[in-house]
Structure 1
Amino acid sequence: MEISRTDEPETRILEINLISAQDLNKIRPIRRMHTYVLAWVDPRTRLRSDLDRVGGENPTWNDKFLFRVSEDFINADISAVQIQIYAVGYIRDNFVGTVRYILSSSSPRSDGIPCFSALHIRRRSGRVQGVLNIAATVFRGSDFPSLSGISAICVRDLIGKNNKTPRDVGSKRSEHAASKEAAESSCNLYCQEKSSFTTITVFRESVVMAG
């Protein structure tokens, strides 16, 4: 997986946990939607979730993404994480909806405790349909020196559980091939039952032991 790097000295680690969604717009003629999520702070570095195969219009992903951002970004009124939901198609993947998560709307905490939000999902027409459930947590970048220079990464990549290279979304392929691709995507959750704080703490302790 290609990792973007930055040399910003004073930064924060913004963790976004994409939990689930309800009442997504039904894409026809797909019998059961297989959905995934793209998320980014900088559009040049987009992270992709694992594929939900069983939830249909009510998927569950439980994927965690880490973004290195500035203190000004955390405090700005208009700073946001852009999120798009897609359904795997036979010829191309279908846009389901989008969410713009504005940080100031929930003021995520920096003490390792997630801040949960339920956000409206908007279709391409602008109509609201569905709810996205997410959690956000802010950590001090200096607490995790091994993340120095990394601008965005999936938690599973971070702990080295999957070294597969994700492919571009939206290419022409069969639903079966797309499902297999997404299953091998590097953007999978390390442990669905761990809290944001526990996940980061375990990684930090492993780095100390390795050193």
Structure 2
Amino acid sequence: MAPISRTLEITVISAEDLHRHRKPITKNSFASVKIDSQNLGSTHIDDKGGSYPLWNDRLALKLPSTVSFMTIDVHSGNFSRHKIVGTVNIPVSDFLSGFLPESYLHFLSYRLRDGKGERNGIVNISVRVLVHDHNVAASTSSSQSQNVKIPEEKSNIGGGVAIGIPIWSGHRI
């Protein structure tokens, strides 16, 4: 059986309540995504949102099977001169295991921590695992990661799959 290649579709949506030196950030923030200390992509710089930046930037990242964590850093400043104001390590098991199909769109929020380990805001993301046949993956670049902007999907109301998880109670219907 051929190995399965996984690509993550990550949308870094926004952040909330960001501070630097206990003061709210007033402008210029961006987020970066790393796997195994390798920077795989960044959002654009939000220069209007202040402590509540909005990015909605979508990245496609090739996920090696040996990876157990993904890191998101939120920065204050521009790309050449910036400080990390918050970091979170996200276990890939948050979106790779469980009862839901791999292609399920997860909306997740994580607490950011500053360099001292103090709480410093929240980052909001969505993650979908795209599963490709090995032959399809072999025909694409064999590089570690692909920073590709993915086009927006059009909503298909009523065309999705619903998953039900039974909840047992002591009451009879």
TM-score of the pair, normalised by structure 1 = 0.59
1:151 to 144, 152, 160: 144
Percent identity reads: 26
| Greater Cα offset, 38-47 or 128-137 | 38-47
Task: Give the AA of the match of 1:54.
Answer: K
Task: Tell me the distance in 1 between the aligned counterparts of 2:25 and 2:34.
Answer: 29
Q: Are 2:19 and 1:25 aligned?
A: yes
Query: Which has the larger strand fraction?
Result: 2
Q: Say whether the 8 Å CA contact 1:106–1:117 is kept in structure 2.
A: no
| Greater Cα offset, 137-146 or 18-27 | 137-146
Question: How far has the Cα of 1:105 moved from its partner?
Answer: 3.2
Q: Which residue of 2 aligns with 1:82?
A: 71
Q: 1:51 to 1:112 in 2, by over 3 A?
A: same
Q: Say whether the 8 Å CA contact 1:14–1:136 is kept in structure 2.
A: yes
Query: How many residues are matched?
Result: 150
Gaps of 5+ in 1: 1-8, 74-78, 160-189, 198-211
Q: 1:69 to 1:48 in 2, by over 3 A?
A: same
Q: Say whether the 8 Å CA contact 1:36–1:49 is kept in structure 2.
A: yes
Deviations 1:49-107 (A, max 9, x none): 1111111110111112222224454xxxxx11111111116x83122111111122344
Q: Are 2:116 and 1:122 aligned?
A: no
Question: How far has the Cα of 1:27 moved from its partner?
Answer: 5.7
Query: Which has the larger helix fraction?
Result: 1
Q: Say whether the 8 Å CA contact 1:68–1:141 is kept in structure 2.
A: no
Deviations 1:112-149 (A, max 9, x none): 33111110000111011211111111111328545442
Rg (Cα) greater in structure = 2
Q: Which residue of 1 aligns with 2:61?
A: 67
SS at match of 2:93: helix
Question: How far has the Cα of 1:40 moved from its partner?
Answer: 1.4
Q: Which residue of 1 aligns with 2:8?
A: 14
Question: How far has the Cα of 1:25 moved from its partner?
Answer: 1.2
TM-score of the pair, normalised by structure 2 = 0.71
Gaps of 5+ in 2: 157-173
Question: How far has the Cα of 1:154 moved from its partner?
Answer: 2.8
**For the aligned residues, what is the CA RMSD?**
3.2
